[in-house]
Amino acid sequence: MEKIQSLRKKIDEIDEQILYSLKERVAVCITIGTTKRENGIPIRDSQREEEQYRFIMKKASELELDPHEVKAVYRKIISMCIHAQQSDINKS
C-alpha cells in the first residue's frame, strides 16, 4: 500500500507540472492572439493546427504513446487556447 501512495504522490507532482505547462501555453497563446489582433490576422489557423497535430502524433509515436489518444488530448488543449485568445479579445 505504501508503494501505491508513493506512486500516487508522483502522479500528483506530474499533474502539477502539466497544469503549470498549460498555464504557460495559454499565456503564450494569449500573447499570440494579441499580436494577431493588432495585425488583423484571424485567431484560427487551420494549417498551423494541422502541423501541430502531425508533430504531436509523430512525437507521441516516438515516445510509444498512442498518437490518436494524444491527438484527442491536444484537440482539447488547442480548443482551450483558442477560447483563451477569443476571451482576451472580448476583454479588449
Domain boundaries, the chain: 2-91
The reported pLDDT for the residue numbered 1 is 85
The fold of 2-91 is Chorismate Mutase Domain, subunit A (1.20.59)
* C-alpha separations of 64 from 10, 70, 73, 81 in Å: 20, 11, 16, 26
The set of cell numbers assigned to 11 is 502522479
Mean pLDDT, range 62-84, rounded to an integer: 97
What tens digit of pLDDT does each residue of 4-52 get? 999 999 999 999 999 999 999 999 999 999 999 999 999 999 999 999 9
Of 48, 21, 36, 26, nearest to 92 by C-alpha is: 36
User: What's phi and psi for 63, nearest 5 deg?
Assistant: -90, 10
